[in-house]
Amino acid sequence: MGSLGEQSSGDAPMKRPIFAVVIGINEYVSSSYDNLRAAAQDADRFNSYLAQNLGVPSDNIRNLRDKNASRDAIIESISWLTHHDEVKKDEAAIIIYFAGHGAFKNKEFKGIQMICPSDIDTAIPAGNGHSKLVKGLSRVELAELFINLSKAKGDNIVRTKIMDLRTNSINSLFRRFSSTAVIPLG
């Protein structure tokens, strides 16, 4: 295996297609989460790196920023990779990049880590005039999405994250499901 986007084939490396979901959230809808200053800009820089340095076509990248990085949009974008016909199993390099808040599902218990979509803790209709709060994407939910993606497309998945965390424990989730090195932004 060569560098990201390359695959050895005898003497010369072959360029492998790259597909990515790049998420950056500065602005959270709920006042429960402070807005961040540089997460969306970090995601923009990473997107530029993919396009300019690695030559990834814009059609191969799903970009989600701020209000467009809702829970549903994040799940749908990872599912897009899972079901995309051009993402060939064991051929395409897949990158999932997240910059934003991470938190515990239960702040007092501190048992389950999650990433925080832009609409976390906002009310959505739940039927019969009731509403419910949007949840974060828990470690368990992310693992299920990543396992489904890996089964469908192979283990060529890189997950990177830059989070404002009160703890570093969610980092182990991304390490556990990474098959290649995390790309530092410097």
Rounded CA separation 186/174 (Å): 19
Confidence band of 140 (pLDDT split at 50, 70, 90): confident
Residue 180 in this model has a pLDDT that exceeds 80: no
Give pLDDT, residue 129: 83
Give pLDDT, residue 103: 83
CATH number of 6-176: 3.40.50.1460
pTM of this structure: 0.79
Rounded CA separation 81/17 (Å): 13
127: CB partners within 8 A, 6+ apart = none
Each domain of the chain, given as residue ranges in start order, spans: 6-176
| Residue 60 CB neighbours (<10 A) | 20
Which H, E and C letters describe the chain, residue by residue? CCCCCEEEECCEEEECCEEEEEEECCCCCCCCCCCCCCHHHHHHHHHHHHHHHCCCCHHHEEEEEHHHCCHHHHHHHHHHHHHCCCCCCCCCEEEEEEEEEEEECCCCCCCCEEECCCCCCCEEEEECCEEEECCCEEHHHHHHHHHHHHHHHCCCEEEEEEEECCCCCCHHHHHHCCCCCCCCCC
Tokens read off for 57? 């076509």
Residue 55 in this model has a pLDDT that exceeds 90: yes
Phi, psi of 46 (to 5 degrees): -65, -40
Confidence band of 130 (pLDDT split at 50, 70, 90): confident
Tokens read off for 29? 């809808």
Residue 137 in this model has a pLDDT that exceeds 70: yes
- Tell me if 66 sits within 8 A of 26, measured CB to CB: yes
Confidence band of 161 (pLDDT split at 50, 70, 90): low
Rounded CA separation 44/39 (Å): 9
Per-residue CA distances from 88 to 77, 80, 154, 155 (Å): 17, 13, 9, 11
Confidence band of 23 (pLDDT split at 50, 70, 90): very high
